[in-house]
Structure 1
């Protein structure tokens, strides 16, 4: 399993990284000017616009076969509401908003889930004893003859604990998504004025020693009780908290469970030849903690 970029790509050559970071800073400072300058940012936006075009075409296709009483998915539900609100000049249910919300869901779902799964495999390669326990649980609950299904999940507390701990340990979005105070708020004697930009700082909770015994170590016991039963933790806010928490949490947890158990049902993970350790610290740390691109050898069990 080679997750490293091609040899001739800028991502492979560390000398390009300072340039790319400098370029991103320039774009933040001079977004209008950068629209007219060549560079890798142009390819980035070209790819993003192609995704939007794909979604726009998908909306048109589904509109032709839409059943008002039998919605198939998010796009159908939005189209039905769009029709109901077509005479409301203040409605938020517009075609543009449909395309952009579907686009947001697509990007947030694919990138965060794939990155989390990739990081979990990296962590398990570094913690073979943990992988062995997952293998034992898979063999006991699922076996080798059928694929994993969601009804297996409640019977696999150790695997569930590993997934939760991997997400906590990765701390994918340390700053959380930006919020804004809708009114003046007083917290512990401090006043937050209306309109203030707020960063939730999820990392301060996910690494709080009062909530997790070994906050800076990967330890599945953070989500297991004395009997080995999965236990929830109120400080587990990898998907944020409150009304603005991630709406894709259920889907992401389902995909992580099914994908991880499917892989480990058939493979065990090893370092590639000549490699003895994987660097689990972030390659890029900012709004997101992005893990390094590494090679992992999945060997048939």
Structure 2
């Protein structure tokens, strides 16, 4: 089986892979995973929300949107000292990467931007890799973040281009792609993934994987989120994605993008140990650590430590 990197995948090929008998699909994904990664090492990331809530976008799944009445109220921005303390705590509990998040439409230069650049440099000095998710950005802004020591830039596509207008209307898919291009051109590693359970079809999921798999290079990191329905948002009553559909998505993404980190992200709190183990077998090799992931619950640090002990996994 050819497991070298490819950028010429077709939707038909991905569909044939996705629709294999489940155990056969997992076997194939596991084979690819073994050739490109240490199968017993997990990339452990910690998300720190610098500014939570008050976002002007209308993402229909998000509690941080100012357009919906949810349990989230806008909070003040964290100061540098608090962010560095949280980063140090994350490192002590096994995290190797910190992701800094700001709820906003796009990168805004000025005092806050310079403060974030200082945070990046200081966290990098701790020996940690740094990722940011700050919204849409230009090539010049990407370069400034790179110069500060940023390694990854997160900007999720969420779903397929076809279904995207059903999820977000305040920005276009093309605008999202332009930000990924800006990160690539600045020499940043792209972190971009999707959310399953938004009401999309199987074809939408395959189109999302195809969009990533045709990029040169593939995203270095691909977060796979399962929708956590939140009261007050338009998607509050969407049905939870079945486990085997999540596993099929992970396995297909692993085969299409052999060298990428596939991160089991939002929605992991509802997965049992056994379900998470199946996701790791299918090709996931990264998790977000911490009791909360932005506005939703996550597995506790203690639960993750127990899971990794039980499975014989270690952090990077």
Instruction: Bin the TM-score by the shorter chain.
Output: under 0.3
Q: Comparing both structures, which one devotes a greater share of its residues to helix?
A: 1
The structure whose RCO (Cα within 8 Å, separation 6+) is larger is 2
Task: Give me the TM-score of the superposition, normalised by structure 1.
Answer: 0.22
Q: With structure 2 as the length reference, what TM-score do the two structures score?
A: 0.21
Give the number of the structure whose residues are more often strand, by fraction. 2
